[in-house]
Amino acid sequence: MKYQNNKIGYCFLVSNETRDYFLLLPIIYYLEKYEGFKISFEFIWDAHKIRKNPPDLVILPNVRGQLLYYEVAKYCHENAIPVYHNDSEGNFNTEIDYDFWAYNASRKYYANYLFTWNRLVKKFLLDKYPLKEEEIKITGAVGFDKYQYLPKANREQLLRKYNKAHFKKVVGYAGWAFGKLYNPEINDVLSNINKPGEAGKIWLAEQRDQVEACLESVIEKYPDILFILKKHPRENFESDFRDSRNEMNQLLHYPNVLYLKDEEEIQDLIGISDLWMAFESTSIMEAWLMQVPTLMINPDPNFHRVNLYKGSMLVHHKEALLNIFQEIFEANDSSKLFADEILIKRTEIIQDAIGYADGFNHLRCLFFLREGLQGSVQSKKKPKLNWRFLRLYGLLHFGKYFYHYSLFKSIPKLKKTVWVFENYQLSEINHKKKLHYPYLGQFYQSKDLDHQIISQEIWKKIEW
């Protein structure tokens, strides 16, 4: 059955960047259409709104990758406000001593279940932490559902924005955040790739330079191909406006290079590419879902943080990369990119990584979220005052009257707040919600989901 819209929810985000937005959009769509919610996107510094106007539900991308997300979840839990959180990056390497909890100092989840992308992650968590098996649910990666409902971008239209529409061939490359070498979080990065200390920094710089040399070799050799180089969205902190030295930004002088930061959605860039490349990136898997051939550049043959390389062509040096390009773009032979053994491995990797590729991962999460909502009893008491949330709220809503981009960016003590005032309205996110809801509606219609959800048949038909 459908409900009257009489329940409110807040979905907190840290910026207009869309990775977490796509993780949560189909969850919000369902709750608004079928469960009687009216859910607003809220900037994380506005968490004081939880006390001002207590919601029936708070939605977060995760409770371990961002300190304020964790603090909001903990605050809601203490005040009997239901929380839903997923996992923005749920396909980590389970073969190293990975610190799953990160910013989550309590080392607990605040939703009714802990959702994981795949069986390998669930096994890792059960082996390493004192968790209960029945409270960990494999639901797949919700953020990848977008490839089932979003249309592909128009290549000519997108390239025309950058005066590059005359290029007939496009190769994309997903950056690997090598710029973090110059950021305070570099030790966390090195720990996650199991290469700590000064030796790890030297290794990372060597990999960066060799990947850059590989990219430069094909950029020079093929001036008629447009190379779109996409910076990693987490290479710099939100308050850090530097473009730190990486494997791409020394190549901007070439006329057949388009270097993009956050101007375009990565799925749109993948969709217009004839070939998608990376050092290591989950966007490789996204390209598979869009039937775009992939290639990985790993100068160190012993570095394989995740097993995506098994489903792609893999090169270790620029000579091998040039040979592949010669086959693909001169001899028009791309058979190596689609070898049977590669395609078979891709199917296995997709299952082991994102769980399912049917567009229903959000429904798998919702099955358990609905259970939690039905059993929740919200406290009638006004949530207790959180002084940190109040301070951030006051700084935001007082400071916005004095904010001036050029002035704040030029003053060191104010520079770190520029990202706050540039993002706090979440205007891009709210615009995208209006744009993408019709696509979700079309997807639901094409799968006859409306009828199946109202009749409750959907929960029996989904693959588990």
Question: Residue 449 corresponds to which tokens in the numbers above?
Answer: 């989901």
| Same domain assignment for residues 281 and 222 | yes
| Same domain assignment for residues 168 and 268 | yes
User: What is the average pLDDT across 396-416?
Assistant: 93
At which of 351, 372, 403 does a domain end? 351
Of 143-157, 185-199, 355-369, the range with the lowest mean pLDDT is: 185-199
The confidence score (pLDDT) of residue 259 equals 96
Q: H helices then E strands: how many in the chain? A: 20, 12
Is residue 245's pLDDT more than 90?
no
- Give me the number of domains the chain comprises: 2
| Same domain assignment for residues 312 and 363 | no
Residue 2 lies in a domain: no
| Same domain assignment for residues 173 and 294 | yes
Of 176-190, 333-347, 362-376, the range with the lowest mean pLDDT is: 176-190
Q: Which candidate, 27, 41, 40, 38, places its Cα nearest to that of 3? A: 38
**Residue keyed to tokens 């839903």:** 84
Of 54-68, 81-95, 283-297, the range with the lowest mean pLDDT is: 81-95
Q: Is 452 exposed, middle or buried (0-12, 13-18, 19+ CB in 10 A)?
A: middle
| Same domain assignment for residues 35 and 169 | no
User: What is the average pLDDT across 137-155?
Assistant: 94
172-195 burial code (b ≥16 CB/10 A, e <16): bbbbbbbbbbebeeeeebbbbbeb
The domain that holds 267 is classified in CATH as: 3.40.50.2000
Establish how many alpha carbons lie within 13 A of residue 247's alpha carbon, considering only the half-sphere containing its beta carbon: 31
At which of 330, 351, 372 does a domain end? 351
Of 121-125, 187-191, 205-209, the range with the lowest mean pLDDT is: 187-191
Alpha-helical segments (H) within 175-264: 186-192, 197-221
Residue 78 lies in a domain: yes
More confident residue, 375 or 208: 208
| Same domain assignment for residues 387 and 318 | no
| Same domain assignment for residues 337 and 206 | yes
Residue 147 lies in a domain: no
pLDDT, tens only, 426-442: 999 999 999 999 999 99
Of 32-46, 163-177, 276-290, 366-380, the range with the lowest mean pLDDT is: 366-380
| Same domain assignment for residues 335 and 371 | no
Residue 208 lies in a domain: yes
Residues contacting residue 21 through CB under 8 Å, at least 6 positions apart? 13, 41, 429, 432
Residue 146 lies in a domain: no
Residue 404 lies in a domain: yes
> DSSP letters of 52-117?
HS--SEEEES-SSSSHHHHHHHHHHHHTT--EEE--SS----TTS---SSTT-TT----SSSEEES
Residue 1 lies in a domain: no
The confidence score (pLDDT) of residue 2 equals 46
Residue type, 431: H
| Same domain assignment for residues 35 and 87 | yes
Residues contacting residue 265 through CB under 8 Å, at least 6 positions apart? 18, 153
Range of the domain at 374: 7-141+356-461
Sign of the dihedral through C-alpha 201, 202, 207, 210: positive
Of 12-16, 242-246, 442-446, the range with the lowest mean pLDDT is: 242-246
| Same domain assignment for residues 193 and 305 | yes
* Strand pairing category for 37-43 and 7-13: parallel
Question: Residue 319 corresponds to which tokens in the numbers above?
Answer: 């000579």
pLDDT, tens only, 258-311: 999 889 989 999 999 999 999 988 899 899 999 899 999 999 988 766 677 788
Establish how many alpha carbons lie within 13 A of residue 114's alpha carbon, considering only the half-sphere containing its beta carbon: 22
Answer yes or no: are the C-beta atoms of 203 and 195 closer than 8 Å: yes
Calpha distance 68→71 (Å, rounded)? 5
The confidence score (pLDDT) of residue 377 equals 63
| Same domain assignment for residues 345 and 364 | no
Residue 63 lies in a domain: yes
| Same domain assignment for residues 134 and 158 | no
At which of 351, 385, 416 does a domain end? 351
Alpha-helical segments (H) within 283-360: 283-289, 318-325, 340-353
The confidence score (pLDDT) of residue 3 equals 46
Is residue 196's pLDDT more than 80?
no
The domain that holds 98 is classified in CATH as: 3.40.50
The confidence score (pLDDT) of residue 1 equals 41
